[in-house]
Chains A and B, each alone.
Chain A
């Protein structure tokens, strides 16, 4: 996913605890609302941030959520990046399968984020951490 079209003022939120998840959701919602996203998309972006931040707290203890908006306004997009330096995932493709996640096959977690957002990418290495990038375009 190319990031060249992003504006420079990205928002970074450290994630160490559940309280930080609330802050990240708040920032993401404000950013998207400012770009004219509707209430459903706002809920979707907030949910994606929740799931990604939850994973950081659960598996990596700490990490970062980076939020950004596309420069182009046709259509506007919101980018959510989750970064951590945790244990990583041996088989990212398998982790994306329904039923693998801790959500017990209900389709939540990472597969859920992929379904809610328009674009999704995961890069992970065992011992080197995980980076998830997800984009939502305005409808």
Chain B
């Protein structure tokens, strides 16, 4: 308090001197000194009222030194009081401003900490893609320091073939089609490594006009490796299944046929009563052969290798119809050559779906549609059964069979999606989409993966 009084004292003397000079006619120089004095007063956190008081006292001194009449001095005294009263609301506002500033500093520091300590890259760019901010995670993952990043454009941060994806995402947001976008791309680090990122972005607005983009990018290297491993495992499983299926179909089948012939030969040489007993064995052998064929087919449809996807699917459908009485119609537009993993996946998915339908749906008909464009292959499987309550089934994890979960797991490594349209009494339709890649580039840089698609399709723990 003593300190404040002293500072006030010295300011007060200085103000008196300046006022004296100014009234003496020093003009602009005195005004400039008054301004500097005001700045110092602000820096020393003097209030509006204290300044008014300073002026008032200096005014009185000046009046006295000029031997003004008593009435004049009384008038100045009263006017000063009035002036101070009228300034008190300004004092309140002035102090409120100081408090708000302090609060802003604290919340700003908190936000900064959150931004800097995030594990994901947090960044902003202007509408031309020039970086305007990036956090420590961004420096760490990219290898560039902050100043380098701030002189870079987003496109030089990203693998060349993925620039287009980011560009497209920005257009989608600017056109108002989507509020935020989510996509994958590869970043190229300072030392030339590629890091797969999942990027979530939205527009930054100032006064309702978009001025930039803010984003959060997550390093998905581990997820990519897991997907790669799953793809590898699936492929190995399919190879193994194909080998065993061939062995069952060809070698075991041949062997069985030779046993069958040998038995028939012996039978022809035996008297009728004994021959009847051997016939029981040949019936059993027929059953074993049928079982082997069935098993071989379940493991890996030889049809798929020998005739292609559509005939194999038709064969599968016929088998199901024969066993269960379900009428299955397959409607396929001409398909180009598909990568073997996609063919196998589609075959398995139909197999799984038809099993589901025959077990649970109480349906009479199933319609399978298969069509392809340059970017995707789509398959829809619709039945006229009893349908089900999708949200209820989604939350009922205790009852989770392997059906739909298995379909999703097959689609995941291929980047495919499953959406389900159903309601009690309305039948069920599964819509499956698998992206086609005609080049050998990695599957990052994929589009579209809008948030909408994510929410309606993601129900991983759900099965009938």
Chain A residues in 8 Å Cβ range of B96: 98, 106-107, 111-112, 115
The answer to whether the Cβ of A95 comes within 8 Å of any Cβ in the partner chain is: no
Is the beta-carbon distance between A43 and B93 smaller than 8 angstroms?
no
Is the beta-carbon distance between B84 and A116 smaller than 8 angstroms?
no
The answer to whether the Cβ of A135 comes within 8 Å of any Cβ in the partner chain is: no
Instruction: Give the residues from 103 to 135 in chain A that come closer than 8 angstroms, CB to CB, to chain B.
Output: 106-108, 111-113, 115-116
The answer to whether the Cβ of B272 comes within 8 Å of any Cβ in the partner chain is: no
For chain A, the count of residues having a C-beta within 8 Å of the partner chain is 16
The answer to whether the Cβ of B85 comes within 8 Å of any Cβ in the partner chain is: yes
CB closest chain-A residue, reference B85: A43
Instruction: Give the residues from 56 to 81 in chain A that come closer than 8 angstroms, CB to CB, to chain B.
Output: none
Is the beta-carbon distance between A98 and B81 smaller than 8 angstroms?
no
Alpha-carbon separation in the docked complex, A106 to B53 (Å): 23
Is the beta-carbon distance between B92 and A40 smaller than 8 angstroms?
no
Indicate whether A112 sits within 8 Å of B1 (C-beta atoms), given known contacts A40-B49, A44-B88: no
What is the CB-to-nearest-CB distance from A122 to chain B, in angstroms, rounded to a whole number? 16
Contact of B88 among A43, A98, A106 (CB under 8 A): A43
Interface on chain A toward B: helix, strand, loop, or mixed SS? helix
The answer to whether the Cβ of B315 comes within 8 Å of any Cβ in the partner chain is: no
Chain A residues in 8 Å Cβ range of B53: 39-40
Indicate whether A107 sits within 8 Å of B97 (C-beta atoms), given known contacts A39-B84, A40-B84: yes
Is the beta-carbon distance between B84 and A112 smaller than 8 angstroms?
no
Is the beta-carbon distance between B97 and A40 smaller than 8 angstroms?
no
Is the beta-carbon distance between B93 and A112 smaller than 8 angstroms?
yes
Chain A residues in 8 Å Cβ range of B93: 106-108, 112
The answer to whether the Cβ of B89 comes within 8 Å of any Cβ in the partner chain is: yes
Contact of A108 among B49, B81, B89 (CB under 8 A): B89
Indicate whether A115 sits within 8 Å of B89 (C-beta atoms), given known contacts A39-B81, A39-B84, A40-B84: no
The answer to whether the Cβ of B99 comes within 8 Å of any Cβ in the partner chain is: yes
Give B237-263 as 1s and 0s: 1 = Cβ < 8 Å from A's Cβ atoms: 000000000000000000000000000
Chain A residues in 8 Å Cβ range of B452: none
Chain A residues in 8 Å Cβ range of B81: 39, 43
Chain B residues in 8 Å Cβ range of A43: 49, 81, 84-85, 87-88
CB closest chain-A residue, reference B50: A40
What is the CB-to-nearest-CB distance from A96 to chain B, in angstroms, rounded to a whole number? 11
The answer to whether the Cβ of B95 comes within 8 Å of any Cβ in the partner chain is: yes
Give B69-100 as 1s and 0s: 1 = Cβ < 8 Å from A's Cβ atoms: 00000000000010011011101110111011
Chain A residues in 8 Å Cβ range of B91: 44, 47, 116
What is the CB-to-nearest-CB distance from B57 to chain A, in angstroms, rounded to a whole number? 10
What is the CB-to-nearest-CB distance from B100 to chain A, in angstroms, rounded to a whole number? 6
Indicate whether A115 sits within 8 Å of B99 (C-beta atoms), given known contacts A47-B92, A107-B92, A108-B92: yes
CB closest chain-B residue, reference A109: B92
**Most chain B CB neighbours (cut-off 10 Å) among A40, A44, A113:** A40
The answer to whether the Cβ of A46 comes within 8 Å of any Cβ in the partner chain is: yes
Is the beta-carbon distance between B49 and A44 smaller than 8 angstroms?
yes
Interface residues of A (CB under 8 A from B): 39-40, 43-44, 46-47, 98, 106-108, 111-113, 115-116, 139
Q: List 25 A-B contacts (CB under 8 A).
A: A43-B84, A43-B87, A44-B49, A46-B85, A46-B88, A47-B88, A47-B91, A98-B99, A98-B100, A106-B89, A106-B92, A106-B93, A107-B97, A107-B99, A107-B100, A108-B93, A111-B92, A112-B93, A112-B96, A115-B92, A115-B95, A115-B99, A116-B91, A116-B92, A139-B1
